[in-house]
């Protein structure tokens, strides 16, 4: 096709997603999404089930066609996230979690209680860019719980440090699903993330530790 167009001195027409003769109901999908968010927030249905049902209702209500729904799915991202799920199992079976727990426990006599919150928050933020947020929580949550038991403190601040650190990855496009989803549409490159994400990560670290201890004291 490119050679033929060049020989004929023609330019290809750009494809545009136009739907002729088909109206759009803009309020119905907004209402379905709002209802799904309400049910999930109230704990009536889990997140995955609630939004899956909402997506199905949008298709059934003919708000979008089935072909449009398939085209909207970014399949490479789904494959990548699915491939990252067994990483936590591999880390546990190879003894990586035990090794990390032993290394953290060596600092028992040197760090105050807030130091462990800061350390777990920092470790979670450093591990997530290379795994993903779900795998990081699966790896570090048992370590945080066992560390809290050995220190005889409440596990809540340590577990919250792991959760916040895993959810606040701004350094790579693979650490969190949101980073991955905006990479293609935003035209970002891999190196764009850490340049803007590093200052933001430092802000999360310095602001997160006192806020965690404020709402979830060590006891």
Q: Where are the domains of the chain?
A: 2-73, 82-215
CA distance 194 to 169: 10
- pLDDT tens-digit profile of 87-126? 666 766 787 766 776 776 676 567 787 888 888 898 888 8
Q: Which residue has the higher pLDDT, 140 or 19?
A: 140
Residue 87, φ and ψ in degrees, nearest 5? -65, -40
The percentage of residues in the chain with a pLDDT greater than 70, rounded to a whole number, is 84
182/198 Cα distance (integer angstroms):
18
Residue at token pair 């109230």: 42
The model's pLDDT over 41-82, given as tens digits with 9 standing for 90+, comes to 888 888 888 888 998 998 888 888 888 888 877 777 677 667
Distance CA 156, CA 218 (A): 7
CA distance 199 to 182: 19
Q: Which pTM was predicted? A: 0.59
pLDDT of 137-181, one tens digit each? 877 888 888 778 877 888 889 899 999 988 888 887 776 777 777
Answer yes or no: is pLDDT of 187 > 80: no
pLDDT average, residue stretch 175-189: 75
Confidence band for 14, pLDDT divided at 50, 70 and 90:
low
Q: Is 165 exposed, middle or buried (0-12, 13-18, 19+ CB in 10 A)?
A: buried
Which is more confidently placed, 24 or 73?
A: 73
pLDDT at 85: 67
The residues, any chain, with a CB within 8 Å of residue 149's CB and separated by 6 or more, are: 155
Mean pLDDT, residues 2-20 taken together: 71
The residue length of the chain stands at: 219
3-state SS of the chain is: CHHHHHHCCCCCCCCCCCCCCCCCCCHHHHHHHHHHHHHHHCCCCCHHHHHHHHHHHHHHCCCCCHHHHHHHCCHHHHHHHHHHCHHHHHHHHCCHHHHHHHHHHCCCCCCCHHHHHHHHHHHHHHHCCCCCHHHHHHHHHHHHHHHHHHHCCCCHHHHHHHHHHHHCCCCCCCCCHHHHHHHHHHCCCHHHHHHHHHHHHHHHHHHHHHHHHHHCCCC
Q: Give residue 3's pLDDT band: very low, low, confident or very high (50, 70, 90).
A: confident
Q: How far apart are the first and last CA of the chain?
A: 70
């Amino acid at each position: 096709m490119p050679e033929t167009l060049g020989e004929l001195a023609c330019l290809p027409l750009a494809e545009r997603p136009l739907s002729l003769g088909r109206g759009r109901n803009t309020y119905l999908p907004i209402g379905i999404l709002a209802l799904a968010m309400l049910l999930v927030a109230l704990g009536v249905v889990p997140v995955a089930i609630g939004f899956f049902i909402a997506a199905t209702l949008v298709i059934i209500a003919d708000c979008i066609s089935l072909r449009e729904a398939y085209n909207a799915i970014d399949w490479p991202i789904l494959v990548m996230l699915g491939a990252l799920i067994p990483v936590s199992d591999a880390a546990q079976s190879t003894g990586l979690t035990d090794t990390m727990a032993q290394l953290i426990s060596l600092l028992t006599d040197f760090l105050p209680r807030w130091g462990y919150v800061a350390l777990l928050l920092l470790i979670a933020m450093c591990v997530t860019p290379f795994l993903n947020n779900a795998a990081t929580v699966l790896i570090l949550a048992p370590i945080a719980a066992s560390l809290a038991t050995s220190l005889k403190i409440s596990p809540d601040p340590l577990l919250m440090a792991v959760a916040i650190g895993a959810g606040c990855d701004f350094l790579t496009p693979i650490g969190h699903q949101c980073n991955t989803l905006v990479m293609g549409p935003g035209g970002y490159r891999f190196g764009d993330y850490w340049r803007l994400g590093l200052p933001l990560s430092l802000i999360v670290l310095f602001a997160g530790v006192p806020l965690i201890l404020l709402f979830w004291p060590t006891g």
